[in-house]
Amino acid sequence: MSDESEWTLRDGDGPETVERKLGHRERERLERAARRHELGRPEVTELEIGRTTHKVAQVEPMDLDGVRTMTVGTILWGVVAVALVPFLGTLEEQGRTWWLWTAIAGFGLGLLGIEYCRLRRNALRHQPGRRRDG
């Protein structure tokens, strides 16, 4: 067995020593953790409910209206539906026509979702202070 001190990092260890002791994946993980700390984290408070302690962070909601996300999802469902049409015979033979109907339903619900998100975005624009204008 190797000596435990061989695997222990010290303050004076250089990059080569860290690489040898930890390996490149562990070094990358530590670098990501250091960058995450540099970006800052929201203040975390603890909330006790019964015997359980929960950590709660004060985080602002993202400034997204969802229109782009719904549009991309709807387009993808439409592409899948169109791509499945040539295979309709095969799907019927295997009892999987529900694949096509799922894609059509996703496309239709996506159209409704786009309209909902558009109306929501426009309503939020008329309420100053709630969201920024996009």
**What is the per-residue pLDDT across 24-47, written as a single tens digit (0 to 9) for each?**
677 777 776 666 655 566 566 777
| pLDDT value at 81 more than 80 | yes
Residues 9 and 47 placed together within one structural domain of the fold: yes
Collapsing DSSP states into helix, strand and coil, what is residue 55?
A: strand
DSSP letter assigned to residue 128: T
Domain containing residue 11? 4-57
Inter-CA distances, 122 with 23, 28, 40, 69, 76, Å: 52, 43, 32, 16, 25
Residues 39 and 79 placed together within one structural domain of the fold: no
The predicted-structure confidence for 1-27, as pLDDT tens digits, reads as follows 455 455 555 666 666 665 565 666 777
Residue 131 in domain = no
pTM: 0.54
**In the prediction, which pLDDT does 90 show?**
96
Residue 81 in domain = yes
**Number of Cβ atoms within 10 Å of the Cβ of 106:** 18
Residues 51 and 92 placed together within one structural domain of the fold: no
